[in-house]
Amino acid sequence: MMHRFADASGERTIGHDPKQLAVVLGALRMSGVALLDLDQAVEIYANTDDRRRSLPPSVVFTVDDGYADFADVGLPVFEEFDCPVTGFVVADVIDGKRWFWWDQVEWALRHAAGRRLELELDGQPVVLSWVTESERAVQQHTLVERLKGVGDVSRDDFIDQLACIADVPVTGDVPPAFRVLSWNALRSCERRGARFGPHTMSHPILSQCTDSRSHDEVVDSSARVLGELGNPSRVFCYPNGRMQDFGGREFRTLRSTGMMAAVSAMPGIIRPGTLGADADAIWRIPRFTYDARDGVTSRLLFL
């Protein structure tokens, strides 16, 4: 599971380094591991026949949230190694209807009028205070993690308050650093071999949504991706993806949409037979975060 790529132009330096990715993909190619397309891997590993037994260990790459740096920085490396890759996209963000809320937080803190902000979240005081950029980044990370634990309404109220107190607008056109791919750009990535699956309409934590909101987030985003794209993935991706962020209600909705599987962000690997072990295994496929540090990925894969 990957997210952002570092942008060589210097617009944004936080993200996966494409040079390190090239080293990792080169090593995987040399190791004889099969680099599989996600949908293909799901079909193989969910199948109880013998096809999977003849396969070497397999690796699947996914990239969440559909940022523009995927097309500019990440995809060229996957192309170079002829490595399949599947992205997960959020329809309302592609349509320019909203920014991702964590980008609003980053933007507000980066451009805040002062370096001490006193706010309230659900009636509790929140004081943000920093001197250096790295202190700001730590405050930002802690705040984003905390905001994942509150409902949409509290979070949106907090971000409105933050934008006001920091005196930084966080609506309107998305700044270049947070730009996502348009449907047209996604289609041109498809022509370069990438695939894309649905990741909801607005990126809420589904377990915190009402029944009808959860249903619409899943059904509408799946229909949108299937309708807009030429070679869509039929694998859904849960926002946030921890065990507590989705459940049986979402599995039932997904079964009705024509999706064939869903990925979480719970770390783990799939062994032959795992996906067929129980009826719901296909709706909570684990993924682990890509880590380019020497040996980390291979230790995870081959332990």
Q: How far is the CB of 264 from Zn ion (least distance, A)?
A: 11
Residue number, 63 or 166, with CB nearest to Zn ion: 63
User: Which residue shows structure tokens 């107190």?
Assistant: 165
Rounded to whole angstroms, how far apart are CA atoms 58 and 34?
4
Q: How far is the CB of 159 from Zn ion (least distance, A)?
A: 17
Token pair, residue 276, equals 């067929």
Residue number, 107 or 236, with CB nearest to Zn ion: 236
Q: How far is the CB of 66 from Zn ion (least distance, A)?
A: 9
Interface region with Zn ion, contact rule CB under 5 A, candidates 65-73, 75-83, 127-135, 275-283: 65-73
Q: How far is the CB of 90 from Zn ion (least distance, A)?
A: 7
| Residue 288: DSSP 8-state | -
Rounded to whole angstroms, how far apart are CA atoms 205 and 213?
11
Rounded to whole angstroms, how far apart are CA atoms 41 and 30?
20
Residue nearest to Zn ion (CB): 64
Identify which of 227, 225, 220 has the alpha carbon closest to the alpha carbon of residue 256: 220
Q: How far is the CB of 54 from Zn ion (least distance, A)?
A: 34
Number of residues that bind Zn ion (CB under 5 A): 2
x/- letters, 21..60, toward Zn ion (CB under 5 A): ----------------------------------------
Q: How far is the CB of 289 from Zn ion (least distance, A)?
A: 12
Q: How far apart are the first and last CA of the chain?
A: 18
Alpha-carbon dihedral sign for residues 33, 34, 39, 42: negative
Alpha carbon of residue 177 to chain centroid: 17
- Give rounded-to-5 percent helix, strand, coil for the chain: 45, 15, 40
Q: In the set 7, 37, 39, 64, which binds Zn ion (CB under 5 A)?
A: 64
Q: How far is the CB of 286 from Zn ion (least distance, A)?
A: 16
Residue number, 41 or 237, with CB nearest to Zn ion: 237
Residue number, 2 or 77, with CB nearest to Zn ion: 2
Rounded to whole angstroms, how far apart are CA atoms 144 and 253?
28
103 binds Zn ion (CB under 5 A): no
Interface region with Zn ion, contact rule CB under 5 A, candidates 9-17, 54-62, 64-72, 211-219: 64-72
Residue 128, φ and ψ in degrees, nearest 5: -110, 130
SS3 99: coil
- H helices of 47-90, where? 68-69, 75-80
Residue number, 45 or 100, with CB nearest to Zn ion: 100
Identify which of 292, 222, 303, 271 has the alpha carbon closest to the alpha carbon of residue 55: 271
Cβ 71 vs Cβ 185: under 8 Å: yes
Cβ 107 vs Cβ 175: under 8 Å: yes
Residue number, 37 or 65, with CB nearest to Zn ion: 65
Residue number, 64 or 106, with CB nearest to Zn ion: 64
Residue number, 130 or 288, with CB nearest to Zn ion: 288
Interface region with Zn ion, contact rule CB under 5 A, candidates 62-70, 110-118, 121-129, 177-185: 62-70
Q: In the set 7, 65, 217, 245, which binds Zn ion (CB under 5 A)?
A: 65
**Binding stretches for Zn ion (CB under 5 A):** 64-65
